[in-house]
Amino acid sequence: MSALKEYNLNEILHNVAQSCDLLEWHYSMRDFESIGQNYFGDLVPLYLIGRDCTEKEVKLSLVLKLAPTDKRFRLSDAVTRMFDREMFVYSVVMSKYREIQKKISRDHFVIPTCYYIRPTYCEEVIVLQDMREDGYRPYTRQPFLDLDHTIVSLKSLAKFHALSFMLQQIDGKLYTEIEQKCVPLNDLTDKRFMEVINDRLSKAMEKFADTEYVTVLSILQQNCSKYIKQTAENTAATCICHGDMWKENILFKYSESEPVEACIIDYQTTRTCSLAYDVLYLITSSTESTLRRQHFRQLLDTYYETFDNYIKSAGYDTKVLYTRTSFDNDLKLVAPACLIVANTALWLSNGLQQEGHVRSKNILSTPEEMSVAVQKYKSIVKDIMDDFFMYGYLNV
């Protein structure tokens, strides 16, 4: 809460109350699992309570997403661009998707309500509906998703992508505007991140020294820029993609302990690229090799069938917009980039990034802890490379 002074909070909530036509409002703070200043800012949960025009009490469950005010995290413009992109996605892209979905009489892509956005530099705020009040929760049972959670996630992702294809048909001018804001990842659009993923490939080669995998990693590094660029330039089609599609950016709703819906969150890395990238990255980063080897084809079928059905529900035809053959071909093209970025994420999530502005959450304090973390990281990355060879996705 140190980043949010009282007068700022009152100003923010005044705007939310005004947009919702609430009178005599007040707020109360709520507990949250992780409030704290980091590279991506603060999350502040609260209730906004007021009366509507009929004197009925209205209680809104909100999450305020705040950009970091710590100057260490604002040294480059990366954070500014990320928050600018997410504010644009919620205010423009999701608003249009809501309009489109009103005309589709079937299960919709879940979109949290965005109540207010303030774009002021170093005071950026996004006020969102707290989906936990509707029963959505992060998956915390295991490090990786099980089959049911993966299927629900892929169905939600398929609808998200399908809406992008619909938007291209409905409003080409707006789609062009979105393309200009949500640019593809490459050396020009995000030089810093490209430097990071190259550095993590170097670190991976050190860990895999004297193994058959070091040659693969070396080739990936030598061609890193090309592999990243071809996720947007050489595929059969592109759309508005999430860009960081893994389990930490998904909330789940349950019925009798089984996941029935997913809500995708955190659109700071939204960009134009192949939908196959989002799909393969989700499967790669969020499932274990055992599950992939048993159900990989089923997962791809589930995704594409949902995409196909949702496109058809709006009166369009995937045979014209994006065929299953194109999808399968694009998976091969985006696979090297998925592996490159997954390596970076896994290095971070396994505790191996202990310095810099973006550090691993778990602090490794002993050589034994570091050794265990390295072995775990290597096992996961090795499994991904083995699986990609098995699929025919790595021809390096």
Assign 3-class secondary structure to 305-341. HHHHHHHHHCCCCHHHHCCHHHHHHHHHHHHHHHHHH
Q: What is the largest CA-CA distance in the chain?
A: 73
Residues 6 or more apart whose CB falls under 8 angstroms from that of 265 comprise 112, 131, 249, 250, 251
- What pLDDT, on a 0 to 100 scale, did the predictor assign at position 236? 97
**What is the pLDDT of the chain when averaged over all its residues?**
91
The overall pTM is greater than 0.75: yes
HSE-up of residue 303 (Cα within 13 Å, Cβ side) = 27
pLDDT band at 38 (very low <50, low <70, confident <90, very high): very low
- What pLDDT, on a 0 to 100 scale, did the predictor assign at position 34? 43
- What pLDDT, on a 0 to 100 scale, did the predictor assign at position 3? 52
- What pLDDT, on a 0 to 100 scale, did the predictor assign at position 218? 97
- What pLDDT, on a 0 to 100 scale, did the predictor assign at position 356? 64
Q: Is the pLDDT of residue 190 over 80?
A: yes
- CB of 161 closer than 8 Å to CB of 245: no
CA–CA distance, 334 with 127 (Å, rounded to integer)? 34
Strand partners, 250: 264
Domains of the chain in sequence order? 1-129 (3.30.200), 136-396 (3.90.1200)
99-113, 297-311, 363-377, range with greatest mean pLDDT: 297-311
Mean pLDDT, rounded, for 169-196: 95
- CB of 16 closer than 8 Å to CB of 127: yes
- What pLDDT, on a 0 to 100 scale, did the predictor assign at position 363? 72
In three-state secondary structure terms, 20 is coil
CA–CA distance, 345 with 197 (Å, rounded to integer)? 9
Mean pLDDT, rounded, for 13-19: 95
E strand spans, the chain? 23-29, 42-51, 57-66, 114-118, 125-129, 136-138, 239-241, 250-255, 258-264, 271-273
The least confident of 69-73, 181-185, 208-212 is 69-73
CA–CA distance, 313 with 308 (Å, rounded to integer)? 9
